[in-house]
Structure 1
Amino acid sequence: MRFDKVVYLRYMPLTAKVYSDFYMGEADLAGLKVEYWDLTSIFFEDNHGMEDSSYLAKVRKFTNYTELEFALKNEELLSKTLFISIMTFEGRISKLYQLLTKYNCILSVFGRNMFPLPSPPKSLLGTLGRIKIATVLNYFRFKRVLKLMKNGKIKKYDIVFQGGEQGWKGIGRVDFESIKDAEIVKVNSDDYDTYLMLKNEMGEKTDQYILFLDEYLPLHPDTVLFNIKNVKVEDYYPELNSYFDRVEKQYGLPVVIAAHPKAIRYKTEDFFNGRKVVFNETAQLTNNAFFVLAHDSTSINYPIASGKKLHFITSKNILNGIGQVHRNVVHFSDYLGCNYQFMNIDEKVNLVDELPIKNYEKYKYSFQTSPETEDKLSSKIFIDFLLK
Structure 2
Amino acid sequence: MRFNKIIYIRYIPLTAKVYKDFYMDEVEKAGIDIEYWDVSALFFKHSYDQEDSSFLTNTIKFDTYDEVEEAIVKVQPLADKLFVSIMTFEGRVLKLYKMFTKYNCILAVFGRNMLPLPAQNSKSIYCSIRNISFEKVKRFLNTRSIIRGKENGRIKLYDIMFLGGTEGWKGIGIINENDVSKAEVIKVNSDDYDNFLMLKGSKRIIDHDYILFLDEYLPLHPDTLLFGIKNVSEKQYYPELNKYFDRVEEQFGMPVIIAAHPKAVRYKNEDFFNGRKVFFEQTSQLTEHSYFVLAHDTTSINYAISFNKRLHFITSKNIYNEINMVHRNSANFADFLGCNLQWFDKNNPINLIEELPVENYQKYRNKFQTSCETENKLSKDVFIDFLKQYLAR
- Interval containing the TM-score (normalised by the shorter chain): over 0.9
Q: CA RMSD in A?
A: 1.4
Deviations 1:194-250 (A, max 9, x none): 000011434799771110001111111111111111111111111111111111111
One-letter amino acid matched to 1:98? K
Matching residue of 2:20:
20
Gaps of 5+ in 2: none
Matching residue of 2:155:
154
Deviation of 1:152 after TM superposition, in Å, equals 2.1
Structure 1 SS opposite 2:351: coil
Deviation of 1:130 after TM superposition, in Å, equals 2.2
Matching residue of 1:167:
168
CA distance in 2, matches of 1:55, 1:68: 20
Matching residue of 1:137:
138
Deviation of 1:306 after TM superposition, in Å, equals 0.3
Deviation of 1:279 after TM superposition, in Å, equals 0.6
One-letter amino acid matched to 1:309? R
Q: How does 1:97-136 map to 2 (within 5 A)?
A: 97-121=97-121, 123=122, 125-131=123-129, 132-133=132-133, 134-136=135-137
Deviation of 1:44 after TM superposition, in Å, equals 0.3
Matching residue of 1:360:
361
Matching residue of 1:349:
350
Deviation of 1:49 after TM superposition, in Å, equals 0.2
CA distance in 2, matches of 1:37, 1:139: 25
Does residue 386 (structure 1) correspond to residue 387 (structure 2)? The answer is yes
One-letter amino acid matched to 1:120? Q
Deviations 1:71-118 (A, max 9, x none): 011113211111001011111000011111111100010000000101
Contact kept, 8 Å, 2:205 with 2:286, in 1: the verdict is: no
Structure 2 SS opposite 1:340: strand
Does residue 67 (structure 1) correspond to residue 67 (structure 2)? The answer is yes
Identity of aligned residues (%): 57
Matching residue of 2:30:
30
Q: How does 1:86-105 map to 2 (within 5 A)?
A: 86-105=86-105
Gaps of 5+ in 1: none
Deviation of 1:149 after TM superposition, in Å, equals 1.6
Deviation of 1:344 after TM superposition, in Å, equals 0.3
Q: How does 1:207-218 map to 2 (within 5 A)?
A: 208-218=209-219
Contact kept, 8 Å, 2:204 with 2:286, in 1: the verdict is: no
Structure 1 SS opposite 2:382: helix
Does residue 268 (structure 1) correspond to residue 269 (structure 2)? The answer is yes
Structure 1 SS opposite 2:182: coil
Matching residue of 2:9:
9
CA distance in 2, matches of 1:129, 1:12: 27
Matching residue of 2:292:
291
One-letter amino acid matched to 1:64? T
Structure 2 SS opposite 1:289: coil
Deviation of 1:147 after TM superposition, in Å, equals 1.4
Q: How does 1:221-260 map to 2 (within 5 A)?
A: 221-260=222-261
Contact kept, 8 Å, 1:240 with 1:343, in 2: the verdict is: yes
One-letter amino acid matched to 1:29? K
Count of residue correspondences: 386
CA distance in 2, matches of 1:350, 1:33: 53
CA distance in 1, matches of 2:148, 2:44: 25
One-letter amino acid matched to 1:81? K
Q: 1:207 to 1:181 in 2, by over 3 A?
A: farther
Q: TM-score, normalised by structure 1?
A: 0.97
Deviations 1:31-55 (A, max 9, x none): 0001111111110001100111111
Matching residue of 1:178:
179
CA distance in 2, matches of 1:228, 1:19: 26
Q: 1:260 to 1:205 in 2, by over 3 A?
A: closer
CA distance in 2, matches of 1:205, 1:238: 25
CA distance in 2, matches of 1:28, 1:85: 18
One-letter amino acid matched to 1:245? D
Moved more, 130-139 or 338-347: 130-139
CA distance in 1, matches of 2:157, 2:340: 40
Moved more, 133-142 or 44-53: 133-142
Contact kept, 8 Å, 1:318 with 1:326, in 2: the verdict is: yes
Contact kept, 8 Å, 1:207 with 1:289, in 2: the verdict is: no
CA distance in 2, matches of 1:86, 1:44: 16
